[in-house]
Structure 1
Amino acid sequence: MRELTSDERQELRRELAAVAADWAQRLKNSDLDTRGGAAQESSSEERMLTHLARMAVGEQMRRLLTDLVSASAEEAVQYGAGYPELGAAVGASRQAARKRWPGLSISKRRASEWRQPPGSIGWAGSHLGYPGPPGT
């Protein structure tokens, strides 16, 4: 997968900021409704509340995105992805992906797909000087 270009990152940032601002406004409005339409706040207090609401929404977005990424990793594994592919998708190494998602059943499923050559010791054993199966 390719990285987003600078322009694409900026566009995504603007779209996320718009979503966060919309949800922050909803939170502020519902908070005012529960306070019974409190007296008009000062301009600086209003700005502070706006930024605090954006922070709250941004943190919720971060948690939801983390859940989304983890769910996507689990689904990718079901379709054949391994730790190298998961790491590449998030710009990390295979080892970092394994540390981030340790509970995925990648190794068992992939190991069952590996094909061993005839004989019980396999290719590596014959090349490392181990004796072959009895009768060879």
Structure 2
Amino acid sequence: MPGPASTPHPSGETAALVSQVVEELVRRFVQDDVHSPAPADPAGAARRRALVRLSVLADVKQAVRDLEDQAAHAAAAGGAGYPEIGQAVSMSRQGARRRWPGLITNNAPSPASQPTSRRS
């Protein structure tokens, strides 16, 4: 039986599209912030826009991380192992195991927990 097929995605297209969407989101938040009382000096206004942008980007980063966690759990529930999960996020098996410890469990009983038969 062949192994699971990897899902191809156009190189760089995903990142470019996400960048566009995030830039639009940031622009909207910065634009909404413009309606707040602005500092009198242009440097203060520029600083505030940069800080709003940074705050929005930090929120986006956390949201993406949460979505990655959900996807990793779904992949594991679907039978993927650390090598496949690591490959999907461009990291090693060990890196995936450090990022999501305990994600993959082996439910097979260990030899020590199996009863032994005694012969008389």
Q: TM-score, normalised by structure 2?
A: 0.70
Residue 22 (str. 1) matches residue 20 (str. 2): no
Indicate conservation of the 8 Å contact 1:25/1:53, yes or no: no
User: Structure 2: which amino acid aligns with 1:80?
Assistant: G
Instruction: Name structure 2 gaps, 5 residues minimum.
Output: 1-6, 110-120
> Cα offset for 1:8?
4.6
> Cα offset for 1:85?
1.2
Higher helix share: 1
Match of 2:49 in 1: 50
Match of 2:98 in 1: 99
1:39 and 1:6 mapped to 2: Cα distance?
Answer: 38
Instruction: Name structure 1 gaps, 5 residues minimum.
Output: 33-37, 113-136
Match of 2:65 in 1: 66
2:81 and 2:13 mapped to 1: Cα distance?
Answer: 31
The structure with the larger Rg is 1
Indicate conservation of the 8 Å contact 1:20/1:57, yes or no: yes
Match of 2:74 in 1: 75
Identity %: 29
Q: Across the two proteins, how many residue pairs are aligned to each other?
A: 103
C-alpha RMSD over aligned residues? 2.4
